[in-house]
Amino acid sequence: MADANNVLEVQEIHTFIGQFHILEGVTVTVPSGSITVLLGRNGAGKTTTLKSIMGLTPPSQGSIVLEGQSLVGRRPFTIAQMGVGYVPEHRAIFRDLTVRENLAIAQRKGDDLERRADFIFGLFPDLKRFYNLPGGNLSGGQQQMLAVARALVPENRLLLIDEPSEGLAPVIIESLIEAIRRLSAQTTVLLVEQNFRVASILADRYVIIDDGRSVVSGQIQDLVQDEALVQRYLGVA
Amino acid sequence: MQRTRGTYMLILTLTVGLLVFSFVTSAGDLGSFGTTLLSGLFLGALYFLVASGLSIIFGLMDILNFAQGAYFMIGAYVTYSLFHMDALKGIDVNLRFPLGVLAGTIIGGLLGAVLERGLLRPLYARPIFQLVLTFGVAIVFGEALKAIWGTEGYGWSTVTSFGIHQSQFEIFGRQFGSYRLFVVAVGVALIVLIGLLLQRTRIGIIIRAGVEDSEMVEALGINVRAVFTMVFTLGCAVAAFGGAIAAPFLGANLGMGNAFLLPAIAVVVLGGLGSYMGTAIGSFMVGLAVAVIARFASEFLNQTVWASITPMLLLILILLLRPSGLFGKESR
């Protein structure tokens, strides 16, 4: 039964990549206005879960509902147009395009890029300085900021962010945490994060995925206090 | 930055080398040197018209369209036929040629759209099948042209619009057809036009982004398949346009598709797969090399075969020096 307080409800999805059965029953609910984090070891299926929601690796079974509308069977561009922003792992910014072009490509009919630019540059002031520089010339941290910024150009209802802290220096991670926290005031966020410290600072809720199945979910504060659970599924004390 | 400078130095060295070779083997005959240079530019412009579509289609869709030469041929046949059709002889000659070019271009574009939507789209997940399919389509188009127009080629027999086909100009005492200069100008204008489209418009930004990562473009809310269709149609239309404007000079014959496809493939690879600038510069380098070697081989070796293998020889040379082509991305 759909809960009106949830922006996204993923129920028991199964996803194959080629002949490999990657997701074997993942259930995730994302309450409106929250930051929900998907946790799990490498290869557990976190990224595939985000890709399945986005329609990039469509599930063969199960349901994905965004505010009452099913996403299953829709193509990624339609899902994006329905208000789902996606920040993939490894950033996937367009290296040959300038910062301005990277942002402009995400603009949709009716979007006011100027107005959104004020909000975006408020979060990531560096991007304003490098507005006309190719994305490939930015540092790793700036590229990550650009990837998040690009997803903020349209006013999305849900933002999927995959491993934002991956490969970044601690000082950059701190500013990214601050930016994600601020943007979550406007958009609901579903995050994949390997760095448990970052996840525990940012998220309100968690879902642990293990071997392609969602195994535990709840409030992040409860998880932080449950060392046995953290040790069992995430391998960190 | 270092690599880019090295690339421009390589282009400059090869171009100057070709010019010096041409000048020396002309034994100081400036007329011969000048006409060789202009022939190179003429060929370069036509190579560009076939190669630009090939390059953008490959960059965005990872499809090497072997049918690109067939679209060039279709443009030439349609334009030739419409211009010479008895039923249309009543139309002013100055209007008939542009109309023929327009029709050739539109028909080429429409056939491109049909190929992409009807045959290639179901094979997006199977690149090898796509390759074989475009090869097969090229053969089918060739046979269809044979069935409609026969195996004999056609030479342009009457005047074109504004007499541009017949007029000549003199360069260092040698006569040179104005029409060839017109083709060069059209080629350069299209380089600028397509360049502006890619750099200054939203669809251009989408195409350039798609060349890097089409999945991400789709995830940003853009219907990439519609962009694929548009780009494929445009690429085929430009090739057909090339054939159409080449027709008054080359006529229409069944060999012209392959005669331009193979150098165009060499251009796309040596320019750097998917690089528009590489394609534009590579087209004129190959055109110049073919013209220089063709004149040298016919004058001194009495053989024409060297001209046809020149694009591949230049390709081998450049790939030895720059394995990813002039402006191609280095594989990581």
Q: Which domains does chain B have, with CATH numbers?
A: 29-321 (1.10.3470)
pLDDT at residue B236 is higher than 90: yes
Higher-confidence position of B58 and B47? B47
Computed over every residue of chain A, the mean pLDDT equals 90
Q: Where are the alpha helices (DSSP H) in chain A?
A: 46-54, 76-81, 99-104, 113-123, 125-129, 140-152, 170-183, 196-202, 220-225, 227-234
Alpha-carbon gap, residue B214 to B226, rounded angstroms: 12
Name which of A101, A108, A150 is nearest B205 (Cβ-Cβ): A101
Q: Output b/e per residue, B10-35; b: 16+ Cβ within 10 A.
A: ebeebbeebbeebbebbeeeeebbbb
pLDDT of residue A87: 95
pLDDT of residue A176: 86
ipTM rounded to 2 decimals: 0.90
For chain B, what percent of residues have pLDDT higher than 70? 95
Alpha-carbon gap, residue B149 to B140, rounded angstroms: 14
The predicted-structure confidence for B286-298, as pLDDT tens digits, reads as follows: 999 999 999 988 8
Q: Which of A166-170, B57-61, B256-260 has the highest mean pLDDT?
A: B256-260
B208, A104: Cβ pair inside 8 Å? no
Higher-confidence position of B45 and A123? B45
Single-letter amino acid code for the residue at B280: A
Name which of A75, A77, A104 is nearest B205 (Cβ-Cβ): A104
Alpha-carbon gap, residue A81 to B56, rounded angstroms: 26
Specify burial of residue A1 (Cβ count, 10 A radius: 0-12, 13-18, 19+).
Answer: exposed
Beta carbons within 8 Å of B62's beta carbon, 6+ residues apart: B127
Name which of A77, A86, A105 is nearest B209 (Cβ-Cβ): A105
**What is the arithmetic mean of pLDDT over B306-316?**
92
Computed over every residue of chain B, the mean pLDDT equals 89
The predicted-structure confidence for A7-16, as pLDDT tens digits, reads as follows: 999 999 999 9
Q: How far is A104 from chain B (nearest CA, A)?
A: 8
- Are A124 and A145 in contact, with CB atoms under 8 Å apart? yes
pLDDT of residue A204: 93
pLDDT of residue B186: 93
Alpha-carbon gap, residue A219 to A135, rounded angstroms: 37
Interface of A with B (CB under 8 A): 54, 56, 75-77, 80-81, 86, 88, 92, 94-97, 101, 104-106, 108, 150, 154
User: Among A44-48, A198-202, B161-165, which is the least confidently predicted range?
Assistant: B161-165
User: In a 3-state reduction of DSSP, which class is residue A22?
Assistant: strand
The predicted-structure confidence for B158-216, as pLDDT tens digits, reads as follows: 666 656 666 777 777 788 888 888 899 999 999 999 999 999 999 999 999 988 899 99
pLDDT of residue B332: 42
pLDDT at residue A236 is higher than 90: no
User: Among A124-133, B35-44, B156-165, B256-265, which is the least confidently predicted range?
Assistant: B156-165
Q: How far is A178 from chain B (nearest CA, A)?
A: 24
Q: How far is A147 from chain B (nearest CA, A)?
A: 11
Single-letter amino acid code for the residue at B201: T
Beta carbons within 8 Å of B298's beta carbon, 6+ residues apart: B304, B307
Give me the DSSP letters along B119-156. IIGGGTT-HHHHHHHHHHHHHHHHHHHHHHH-SS-B--
pLDDT at residue B22 is higher than 50: yes
Interface of B with A (CB under 8 A): 202, 205-206, 208-209, 211-213, 215-224
pLDDT at residue A146 is higher than 50: yes
User: Among A25-39, B87-101, B133-147, B213-227, which is the least confidently predicted range?
Assistant: B87-101
B224, A77: Cβ pair inside 8 Å? yes
Q: In the numeric block, which tokens belong to residue B256?
A: 């012209």
∠ CA B74-B93-B183, nearest 5°, is 55
pLDDT of residue B114: 95
- Are B80 and B249 in contact, with CB atoms under 8 Å apart? no
pLDDT at residue B1 is higher than 60: no
For chain A, what percent of residues have pLDDT higher than 70? 97
Name which of A81, A92, A154 is nearest B216 (Cβ-Cβ): A92
Overall CATH class of domain A6-234: alpha beta
- Are B205 and A104 in contact, with CB atoms under 8 Å apart? yes
A77, B221: Cβ pair inside 8 Å? yes
φ/ψ of B95, rounded to 5, equals: -95, -30
Alpha-carbon gap, residue A182 to A153, rounded angstroms: 15
pLDDT of residue B81: 93
pLDDT at residue A123 is higher than 90: no
pLDDT at residue A72 is higher than 70: yes
pLDDT at residue B304 is higher than 80: no
By C-alpha distance, the chain B residue nearest A18 is B125
**What is the arithmetic mean of pLDDT over A165-170?**
83
**What is the arithmetic mean of pLDDT over B50-72?**
90
